Amino acid sequence: MRSVTPDGAATSGLGWPMEPQGLHQTLLGLARRYPALPPIFITENGYGDDGTLDDTGRVDFLRDHLAAIRAAMTDGVDVRGYFCWSLLDNLEWARGYAVRFGLVHVDYETQARTEKASFHSLREFIGKQG
């Protein structure tokens, strides 16, 4: 399999392209193609990195993807939920424990949990939604 990153696209800590406008376009396309589309829930949308607590890349990823979802909702798409991938760092089938996707860092030796910057940013975002 070959992965191609479009010119100018930001990438995650894993080098994966991040294109929130693609999420917006996909949601709009689904709604146009299927007029009786049931409510949509976005699941397992996330950002992998090395597990740093100051995970500004994930903060930016969440901000931009949530804005894309909001724009799709404004354009009439019935989005009812959004679920990050994932609350806690955990085993990732393809890469084991080397890559971290959680909003909360897990020390695998001690099992201690520490909230990352993305956790606090998302909590603040949710709090402002009223």
- pLDDT at residue 109 tops 80: yes
pLDDT confidence of residue 1: 66
pLDDT confidence of residue 59: 97
- pLDDT at residue 48 tops 80: yes
Strand duo 79-84 + 40-45: pairing:
parallel
Whether the model clears a pTM of 0.85, i.e. scores above it, the answer is yes
**Residue 31 main-chain phi, psi, to 5 deg:** -65, -35
pLDDT confidence of residue 15: 83
- Amino acid of residue 72: A
At 74, the pLDDT band (50, 70, 90 cuts) reads very high
pLDDT confidence of residue 42: 97
pLDDT confidence of residue 28: 98
CB of 68 closer than 8 Å to CB of 31:
no
Give per-residue pLDDT as tens, 13-47. 788 889 999 999 999 999 999 999 999 999 989 99
Calculate the average pLDDT of the chain: 93
Which is nearest to 61 in space by CA: 73, 46, 49?
A: 46
Query: Could you say which of 3.30.70.2860, 1.10.3720.10, 3.20.20.80, 3.40.30.10 is the CATH number of the domain covering 16-127?
Result: 3.20.20.80
* CA–CA gap between residue 85 and residue 103 (Å, rounded): 8
* CA–CA gap between residue 121 and residue 128 (Å, rounded): 11
